[in-house]
Amino acid sequence: MTHPAPHHPGPSEPHGTSAPGHDHCHGHAPGEGHHAHGADPDSGLADMLDLDAELFAEHLADLTGRLARLAGRAVTHIVDLGAGTGTGTFALLRRFPTARVTAVDSSPGMLARMVGTARARGLGDRVRILEADAATGLPGVADADLVWASASLHHVDDPAAALAGVRAALRPGGLLAVAELDGLPHFLPEDAVADRPGLEVRCREALTALHGAQVPHLGADWGTPLTAAGFAVEYEGTDRLELRAPLPAGAGRYAHLVLSRVRGALADRGRIDPADLAALGHLLDGGPQDVRHRDDLLVRSTRRTWIARCPTGTP
Ligand SMILES: C[S@@+](CC[C@H](N)C(=O)[O-])C[C@H]1O[C@@H](n2cnc3c(N)ncnc32)[C@H](O)[C@@H]1O
């Protein structure tokens, strides 16, 4: 279903897959500070999200399959909350062939990129975009069968307000899926850098400390806030994903993108030993230790998922 834009949409107004008129992004990911604004879309983050979905496509398909089994009836309207580049949108459109998706994001740069991808894949007429802050509700969105919030809820300043908005947007009995990472994926064995054993673990700890201040909801247990918002949690699961040699194409580039963001987040903040920072730099500089051409790389990431149902009675 297409939602043509009769005029240039305002910041909280739903519109079709016409690209937004300005371009900045405030998304972030493991390894980056909160609300990183910029004049251009954050292509490093966007590429990382796309690669993540490509590498862990099987996990994504498992989750959408679980949603299909739990949905109980046809899913025709989906909301992708904090859609980013549309990794969830495209997986859900594949799983639910008669559905359309409202992709919500506060970053016009991300929305513009996802519109381009939707059109390139011939899916433009099944996607509409809504530029909005999830904490302020989902204007014009009602009776959704499913809301998908992947790696996005932890960004929202007021998750309780966001969950109230989600509840208002869902039909009675509709589902909310919350998918989150526990933080930075792992890539290297303990002794990967001979003179700096445990380098990656220390980087992870420094990043966790930084996130504690900047992204306090990262790693939260969403079961409690979901219940407090009136949802009935029907599934909660933790998946420890691991990719080993022979690694799929893109794994080295994924590691490079993630660790580059980690380095960007930690540089000049005095949170790690300068020798660790220098060693991290050697994993990224195109030299012999670079993660893009090492043979000891593995990719490990822990994902948690909650699937909750909107009550069918009057709140
Ligand atoms: C880490 S990305 C995840 C993107 C996508 N869901 C995925 O899993 O690949 C988080 C996204 O949430 C968006 N976001 C952050 N805070 C938001 C807010 N308050 N309201 C709406 N979107 C937000 C960011 O712009 C970014 O695109």
244-283 per-residue burial string, b: 16 or more CB within 10 A, e: under 16: eeebeebbbebbbbbbbbbbebbeeeebbeeebbebbebb
What would the pLDDT profile of 180-227 be if each residue is shown by its tens digit? Answer: 998 889 999 999 999 999 999 999 999 988 888 788 888 899 999 999
For ligand 1, is residue 159 a contact (CB within 6 Å)? no
What's residue 17's pLDDT?
Answer: 57
What domains are defined for the chain?
A: 1-183+218-242+301-315 (3.40.50.150), 185-215+245-297 (no CATH)
How many whole angstroms from 29 Cα to the centroid of ligand 1? 9
What gap in Å lies between CA 257 and CA 107, rounded to an integer?
Answer: 20
Over range 105-123, report the average pLDDT.
97
What gap in Å lies between CA 209 and CA 151, rounded to an integer?
Answer: 19
What's residue 46's pLDDT?
Answer: 95
Q: What are phi and psi of 178, to 5 degrees?
A: -115, 120
What's residue 164's pLDDT?
Answer: 98
For ligand 1, is residue 88 a contact (CB within 6 Å)? yes
What's residue 212's pLDDT?
Answer: 83
How many whole angstroms from 200 Cα to the centroid of ligand 1? 26
The burial of 303, by beta-carbon neighbours within 10 Å (0-12 exposed, 13-18 middle, 19 or more buried), is given as buried
Mutate to test the pocket of ligand 1, among 59, 106, 152 (most ligand atoms within 8 A of CB): 152
Mean of the per-residue pLDDT values of the chain: 87
For ligand 1, is residue 51 a contact (CB within 6 Å)? no
For ligand 1, is residue 151 a contact (CB within 6 Å)? yes
How many whole angstroms from 152 Cα to the centroid of ligand 1? 4
Mutate to test the pocket of ligand 1, among 34, 43, 63, 106 (most ligand atoms within 8 A of CB): 106
Asked whether residue 110 carries a pLDDT value surpassing 80, the answer given is yes
Q: Pick from 111, 113, 133, 115: which is nearest to 35 by CA? A: 133
Over range 60-80, report the average pLDDT.
97
Provide the percentage of residues in the chain whose pLDDT is more than 90: 77
